[in-house]
Amino acid sequence: MGARLDQHYLVDPAARDVIAAAADIVPGDSVLEIGPGRGMLTQALLPRARAVVAVELDELLAAQLATALGGPSNLRVVNADFLEFELESLGPGPWKIAANLPYAVATPILQRLLPWPHWTTAVLMFQKEVAERISAQPGGTDYGLLTLSVAIHASAELILELSRESFRPRPQVASAVVLLTRRSEPLVAAGEQAAFFRVARAAFGQRRKMALGVLFRSLGLERERVAGAFAELGISSSARAEEIPLELWRGLARLLS
């Protein structure tokens, strides 16, 4: 069942304890766990939290989880697809989030969480290469649209890399855990994000080329206008997309939209 749903169950107690500790849960906290599986991480969250809501897609696992953990009074198990789960049904929180995410849907789950206003921290496990893209800094090949989409809403830190032996069944890829700390306000307002990503997406679509040339051709703008925006913001005319930090993408979106 785990393989069918692309879920690899954590079996490493030391890694489990690092994840639970990184969530920084105090006794009054409410915790959302996504994909609890057989409950190894859940077991470490329950003693720390006032309440744990565990959303599990697998019907059989969801039915067995509470019993397997001894029927704790502060655990609520929801059998649902998290991508369709109504987050507002959880109430205002604030919520802390912990999850060993199924690789195939990890990025869609992340994108669903990011704009939700009722969480404070999230400790999430991803395929290692995805974790590196989430936490990347400008200048490297990992830095891209995923990095920007996360950075708008949260700071990101890669805190743990895990061996394939930490899971059953053993995955084909390495895994890593990212700590996200939600910003009080997004760095790009909701109403400005479409323009922001229109500009950034155009440049990252041809990331090996100089961003200035890509943008004036892709956006149908005069070269002089794009060059003027680069000069105004202090961006080198030879810069590639991966070398431009978020605040300058925000400036480019403002000047070129």
Strand partners, 157: 179
Q: How far apart are CA 29 and CA 24, in angstroms?
A: 9
Mean pLDDT by 10 residues, the chain (257 residues): 63 96 96 97 98 97 97 98 97 96 95 97 98 97 98 98 95 96 98 97 97 98 98 98 98 96
pTM: 0.95
pLDDT at residue number 5: 54
List the beta strands (DSSP E) in the chain: 9-10, 30-34, 51-56, 75-79, 95-100, 119-127, 154-162, 167-168, 175-182
pLDDT at residue number 7: 76
Question: 124 and 101 in contact (C-beta within 8 Å)?
Answer: yes
Question: 52 and 33 in contact (C-beta within 8 Å)?
Answer: yes
pLDDT at residue number 2: 39
Ordered structural domains, the chain, with CATH: 9-182 (3.40.50.150), 190-256 (1.10.8.100)
Q: Which residues of 105-118 are buried (b: 16+ CB within 10 A; e: fewer)?
A: bbbebbebbbebee
Dihedral sign computed on CA atoms, order 61, 62, 63, 66: positive
pLDDT at residue number 6: 64
- Structure tokens, 185: 């306000």
